[in-house]
Structures are given as C-alpha cells and as structure tokens.
Chain A
Amino acid sequence: MLFVFLLGPALASALLALVVRPYRAAVGAVNAVLSLVTVGAALGLWREVLAGRVPVAGPDDLLRADALSTLLAFCVSVVGALAAWLGPGLGDDGWDAAQARRFRIFANLFAATMLFAVTTDNVGFMWVAIEATTITSALLIPLHASKASVEASWKYVLIGSVGIALAFAGTVLAYFDFATLVGRETSALSWTLLRDVAPALNPRVLDLAFVFILIGYGTKAGLAPMHTWLPDAHSEAPPALSAMMSGVLLAVALYAIVRWQAVVRAAVGHGFADDVIGLLGVLSLAVGSLSLVTQRNYKRLLAYSSIEHTGLICIGLGLGPLGVFAAMLHLLNHSVAKSMMFLLAGRVLRRYRTAEIDGVAGLLRVMPWTGGFFAAGMLAVLGLPPFGMFVSEFALVRAGFAAGRPLTIVLVLALLAVGFVGVLGHLNRMLYGRPSGSVPVGEGGRWALLPLGACLAALVVLGLTVPAPVERLLLDIAEIVTP
C-alpha cells in the first residue's frame, strides 16, 4: 500500500498534465498537493524500516524498501515536491502554458522512474528505470530552445545513454555466473538473492562486471572522467529540473553503484571495489574543486560543486562502515542543499537575466532574502558549520583516519580548501557591489521563499545534531552495505 502512495501520485500528476490541454494552473496545484503524499509515503517507509520491517510488494517481491531504499526514496520525494511547488506552471514565472505542461508531464515521470529505481529489488528493472530517467529528463533540458540548451541535451542523451548501456553490459556479465548457479528465473536478478549467493560467485567475473557497472552508473553520477556532460546539462536545464538532476539523479546513480558494491564486497571481500570507487572519488573531487576556481557562470559553479560532492560521497563509500555512514549523511545533505541552491539560482537568473557571475552584483541589496539564502546555502555547500555538510565531512575525515588512510584525507582537505577559496571570491562579488540600474530592487514571489527557508532550516538542524531517526537509518544502511 505504501508503494502505491509512493509511486502513484507522480504517475497520476503526469497523466493529469497529459490529458488536460491546454495547461491550467489547477494541474500544477494538484501536482503540488499530490507531491506531499509521496513525501508522506516515504516517511511511512522510514517508520516501517526503523520498526525493523522491510516492506515488500508485487510479484516476486519486485518492490522492496530497506533502509538504503528508504533514504533515497525520501530524498527523491522531497526534491520532487520542491520541484512541483516551485517549478513552471504555478504562479507567474515567465513560462508559457505549453512549457508548463511539458514540464509537469516529464518532471513527474522523471520522479516516478527515480522512485521506482530505488525501490525495486530487481537489478534488471533498476537498470531499466535508470535508463528511463535519461529519456524523461532529456526532453526537459531545452525547455527554452536555444543553441546552448540543444547542445547540452545532446551531450546528455548521448553520453548518458552510452554510459548506462555499459552498466547494462556489467549487469549482464554478473548475471552469467549467477544464472548458472540459480537458474534462469526473473528472480535471478533479485538483489537480495544476488547478495545471498554472492560468496559462491566467481570473483574475477564479478570484478570485471563491477568495472563496467561503475563506469556506467558513474557516468550518470557525474564521476570524473565521465562527467563532461554534467556542467552543461545542469546549467542549461530549467532551475526546477536542475534541482532534481543535481539533488537526486546523481544520488540515484550512486545508489545503483552502492547496491552492486554490496554484492561485490560479499563475493570478493574488501579491496578491489572499494579501491576503484575511492580512486574515482578522489579524481572527481579534484576535477570539481579545481574547476570551481575558474568558473564564470554561477550555475556551472553549482554543477562543478556537485561533481566535487559526488567525489566526496564515493571516497566515503570506499572507507568501510564509518565511511558509508558519512557518505550517506553527505548524500542527504547534498540533496537538500543543492536542490535549494539551484532553485535560488533560478530566482537570481530571472532577476538579473544573466548566468554570468560578473553580471550579478549587489545581490544582497536587490533581493535581501534570496541573497541571504544564497550566501548561507553556498557556505553550507562549502562545508562550514553550522550546516549539515560540516558534520558529514567531519565524519568522513574521521572514517578516513579510522580506515588508516591519512594521506587520502590530507589530499581531500587540501582540495576542499582550494574549492573553498575559489568559491568565496565568486560569492563575494555576487553579494556586494552596486547593481546596474536596470535591475529592479525587491523580492518577488515571496511565498517561494518558505520552502527554500525550510531547506535551510533542515541543513542547520543536520549541522547541529544528527537526529535519532536519521542516525538509526544510516546505521542500518552501513550494516547493509558492509555486512
């Protein structure tokens, strides 16, 4: 039943937007209300999981939500709700009816495919769903048709599809060995079964499969060196879609990697899988941090920061149970912080009509609230206290020392410092200075600040303490990934 409430609302909203033509604001309103039902369902799953149950549904237990699925379902539902409330088609936001309708159809399908990907137990269907996320989101990137957005979406579709195809090759390779062991049932692609029989699988075949899977899903997750599509797509997409792509699509791709990592760990033991994930993590962190310094476009700046944080999460995943705990806490923080930042960047873009950092000055005077939130959010993204990312990065550092990797940690801290200094300079130029005369002063669309303020409040709470339900969920996840 919970799964119906989880997947149903998004599908219903997409269908509604499809049949109501021309688009009416009421469709957006229904969508916004229904998106809260999804959040409720995710919280319901959370309660079940903390009570020690694992909700399942469908033939062959096709849908299954353990602690890991629950965390991701929660992130997707929250960011989906933000996009539903603040996306095109509610209030006067400069999008026409056709654009709003297209957004409502595909954004909801996008959310539904992500929710299905994180709650299905079948790694075959997980792949099908993640591939479908490319299809549903690609059509939304050029909502404003321009040369740059067409270019960005072509890169996204091509690189994303090729990457995800390689992940499928990896899935198939892992399935070979498995099929000889268990037989050719649909359940042969069940993750639960896969992990249970993993110790009997051929380690060398599984290692090879994992390389393909890591490269494949890593492409979607924005891991360097397969990240080239990401800054383009995230900066050209409409703000609400950027929020979903950066806030949760990357997380969903990482989720797929974590699922397979758990299988490989069970089969091969620690070592290979952890090492390659950690390596790609450091590389992504380096690419992200160093690129932050030279950015001239604030949406691209946020996109490179996503690559940086994906790198951090991967480094955590390679550091044992403590590292997994830190990585998952970081993933939660990043979902909240980055979706908020892209939505705020959308507000800035609408006012200043430029995405260049040099074109934005005096943000604090022009839009005091938006500017204040933007500054606070940027400090949160940089990992300063009292925001959540400080806690998760601190946990990561501790995990690194506990795992006996002090050199990695020193490198991580150095790279974070580089990014920090770079971004602070950019932020300074945007916040202060004299705005050009053509930019009107004063906040518009004040009610939109409410959900964004809630995000900021959540980040502060996560920065002061890790609430007990969150902590227990994360401990459960660490247990699942590193038994």
Chain B
Amino acid sequence: MDSLFAQLVVLESSLALIFGLVLLWRRGVPAYVNAFTWQSLVLAAVAATVGWFGRERELYLVAALLIAVKGIAIPRLLRRMERRFGTERELAPYVNTATSLVVAGLLVLFGGAVMRPVVAASELPTRAGMPLAMGLVLVSLFVVVSRKKALTQVIGFLMLENGIALLALLGAYGIPLIVELGVFLDALMGFLVMQIFVYRIHETFDTLDVDQLDRLRH
C-alpha cells in the first residue's frame, strides 16, 4: 500500500515539475497558461492522493479549493489578460532556451542536494517527492528572474507558489487547514493585485516588457 502511495506521489510530483519546465521551452503565453492549469490540477491530485492514503479528510477540501482557485478561476483571468496582450510573446528572454534548460537541470539537481537532510529526517512515504518539489520552487524562481514579460513573471510566481504547496503536502501532509485558508486568500489577493499592475504597466508603457521599466536607476 505504502509503495503504491509513494509511487503515485513521485509520479505526480514529476508531472508538476515537467509542467513547470514548459515555461522555459515554449514561447507563447497560451502554452504557459495551459501548463499552469495542468500543474494546478496535478497538485490537487496530490492533495487528494495524500488525503486518501494518509487519511486526512481536510485535504479533500484543499484539493477542491485548488481546483476552484488555481485550476479554474486564475487560469480564466490569465486567459482574459492573454487575449488582450496575447500578441506579446517572450521573444528574447534574458537567458536563451538552451541555456535555460541546462540551468533548470542544474537547479533540480541542486534542489535534490539541498533537500537531502530533510528527506533523511522524514519517515513519511511521500518523502521521495520532496526534492522534485524543491526543484520546481527553484526553477520557478529562475523563470521569474530570467523572463522579460510581466505576464510570464506572474505565471512563474504562481508556479513558485504551487511548488511550495507541493512541498508542504509531501513533507507534512499539508499545513493546518486554518492557516492554509489564509494562504489561499493571500495567494488570490496577491494575484489580483499583480493583475491590476499588469494592466497598469500596459496602460502606461504600451508594452509588457519589463525591460522598458528602467526609469529608476540610481
């Protein structure tokens, strides 16, 4: 039973990481939104799996919230933004695709190395997935710093949050529900504020290229 649980969780974590890597080798925003949607659904599946095998009923609620907020609501808002600014593609990121993928690979390895003491200290059947979750966190961080379009950065940030949520699910079967609800609220509000600013940037600068944001230099 435990080995089935462990294998399922590792499979799902790998999928989450792969959807994160899509941001590095695809160019269009629609592909990014799709990748984020699928990643959120996989994350919900992880919550449900851990809930089932770990007998944590609360996690079904978390899974339902994940589907509603990150699987449906946020992707819908992202698509609306994409329809307005969809013509703007990530043409020339600060780091090109090939290098990005190499860096991502190194980051995943680094994540594994960093998490070794944590994995060693854990006795949960889900522990094998934790290095993958840390890999996703680091890769998303890399996306945020290496991409130029505000919309891509937002999606990178959302994936970073997914990575941390995955880490919490694998390492401790999720954080206490009441705190989790606060985190959800923050995530949603934070996204809405970012959305306001994406529109504002487009209004004031006529582009979503953050390279244009260079008025404030010391």
Contacts and interface: CB of A to CB of B under 8 A. Distances in A.
B114 interface: yes
Interface in A218-265: 231-232, 235-236
A146 B175 CA distance: 41
A184 B204 contact: no
Contacts of B189: 132, 135
Interface string B95-123: 00000000000000000001001100111
Contacts of B121: 176-177, 202, 204-205
Nearest to A128: B182
A148 B176 contact: no
Interface in A150-192: 150-155, 157-158, 161-162, 165-166, 168-169, 172-173, 175-177, 179-180, 184-186, 188-189
Contacts of A175: 168, 171-172, 175
B15 to A, nearest CB: 20
A184 B201 contact: no
Interface stretch (B60-68, B81-89, B210-218): B210-218
Interface string B171-189: 1110111110011011001
A125 B197 CA distance: 26
A175 B161 CA distance: 17
A231 B217 CA distance: 10
B9 to A, nearest CB: 15
A303 to B, nearest CB: 10
Interface in A80-107: none
Nearest to B153: A158
B167 interface: yes
Contacts of A155: 213, 216
A232 B218 CA distance: 9
Contacts of A291: 218
A184 B173 contact: yes
B176 A184 contact: yes
B164 A185 contact: no
B178 A179 contact: no
A59 B213 CA distance: 46
A300 B218 contact: yes
A12 B182 CA distance: 21
A125 B144 contact: no
Contacts of B197: 138, 150, 153-154, 157
B160 A162 contact: yes
Contacts of A150: 197, 200-201, 204-205
B60 to A, nearest CB: 15
Interface residues of B, number: 46
Contacts of B167: 169, 172-173
B193 interface: yes
Contacts, number: 136
Nearest to B169: A172
A208 B114 contact: yes
A236 B179 contact: no
Contacts of A152: 216
A131 interface: yes
A295 interface: yes
A145 interface: yes
B150 interface: yes
Contact of B215 (A151, A180, A300): A151
B172 A184 contact: yes
B215 A172 contact: no
Among B197, B204, B216, chain A packs the most CB atoms within 10 A around the CB of: B216
Contact of A188 (B176, B194, B200, B216): B176
A205 B134 CA distance: 14
Contacts of B214: 151
Among B175, B200, B201, B204, chain A packs the most CB atoms within 10 A around the CB of: B175
A316 to B, nearest CB: 27
B137 interface: yes
B117 A294 contact: no
A476 B213 CA distance: 46
Given A122-B179, A125-B179, A131-B190, A236 B216 contact: yes
A138 B193 contact: yes
B179 A128 contact: yes
A157 B192 CA distance: 11
Interface in A113-131: 122, 124-125, 127-128, 131
A232 B118 contact: no
B6 interface: no
Contact of A162 (B157, B175, B178): B157
Contacts of A415: none
Contacts of B168: 172, 175
Interface string A253-296: 00000000000000000000000000000000000000100110
Among B141, B157, B190, chain A packs the most CB atoms within 10 A around the CB of: B190
B122 A124 contact: no
A122 B176 CA distance: 11
A122 B178 CA distance: 11
A125 B196 CA distance: 25
Given A124-B175, A151-B216, A202-B121, A131 B210 contact: no
A135 B114 CA distance: 31
B122 A139 contact: no
Contact of B144 (A158, A188, A202, A208): A158
A19 B74 CA distance: 28
Nearest to A297: B218
Contacts of B183: 124, 127-128, 168
8 contacts: A154-B213, A172-B164, A176-B172, A184-B176, A189-B176, A208-B117, A291-B218, A300-B218
Which 8 residue pairs of A and B lie closest in terms of their CB atoms, listed nearest first?
A: A124-B179, A128-B182, A204-B117, A176-B171, A186-B176, A151-B213, A179-B172, A232-B216
Given A157-B193, A185-B176, 14 more contacts: A124-B179, A128-B186, A147-B205, A148-B215, A148-B216, A150-B200, A151-B213, A154-B201, A157-B190, A173-B171, A184-B176, A186-B179, A205-B117, A291-B218
